[in-house]
Amino acid sequence: KAGVTQTPRYLIKTRGQQVTLSCSPISGHRSVSWYQQTPGQGLQFLFEYFSETQRNKGNFPGRFSGRQFSNSRSEMNVSTLELGDSALYLCASSGRENTEQYFGPGTRLTVT
Amino acid sequence: GEDVEQSLFLSVREGDSSVINCTYTDSSSTYLYWYKQEPGAGLQLLTYIFSNMDMKQDQRLTVLLNKKDKHLSLRIADTQTGDSAIYFCAESPYNTDKLIFGTGTRLQVFP
């Protein structure tokens, strides 16, 4: 079974631009969660989607948004990028029992 | 409140056992996890324990849970250089898939 895939792996953007990151969960998994990892703040929960519905949301500004498609693939979008948005963005998927969350390799976003 | 704490560094000799500790605050957490992160990589799920268990063993890994003290530990037997990485514990509050991560413990294994 293929693991969680994330595209692109690396991205460089300029302040004020917007960015879209993509995540394909493990086949059969319907829950997708997103996390931001920075040296200063560590790993922080962004949001979680299940069957195209956002179930939980972390404490991030409205510039951070996401969605999930009918095939369980998920995208997250960050608008009006700030330098502080530079981070590793990780996506995780989990199956029916929602017990085990498997992470993708991440997308490293650099904002200049 | 939601807070998971870990010590920042641990250094052990190859072949010894490593013990990484974690304390959490949410007593409603149903599952507690250990993840491993190597440089430039995502998070690898190592093991997890249900909150009504005291111990779980999986090959070289032993997880101990003291629910009264909200203390979780991961013991790695016969530590190898390939075990050098950052280890994160995480809790999953009741009825949510959200994971609350600790700060991570950097394990360094020297020959």
> pLDDT tens digit string along A22-74?
999 999 999 999 999 999 899 999 999 999 999 999 999 999 999 999 999 99
pLDDT reported for residue A98: 65
* Out of A45, A98, A105, closest to residue B42 by CB: A105
User: Which residues, listed in sequence order, are joined to residue B47 by a DSSP beta bridge?
Assistant: B34
* Out of A94, A100, A105, closest to residue B41 by CB: A105
A103·B45 Cβ contact <8 A:
yes
Cα distance between residue B74 and residue A60, in whole Å:
31
Both tokens assigned to A102:
């498997």
pLDDT reported for residue A97: 66
* A38/chain B closest Cα distance in angstroms: 11
Interval A70-108: pLDDT, tens: 999 999 999 999 999 999 999 999 986 667 899 999 999
Of residues B9, B24, B4, B1, the one with CA closest to residue B102: B4
SS (HEC) of A51-74 = CCEEEEECCCCCCEEEEECCCCCE
**A76 φ, ψ to 5°?**
-125, 145
Interval B8-24: pLDDT, tens: 999 999 999 999 999 99
- Mean pLDDT across B96-102: 88
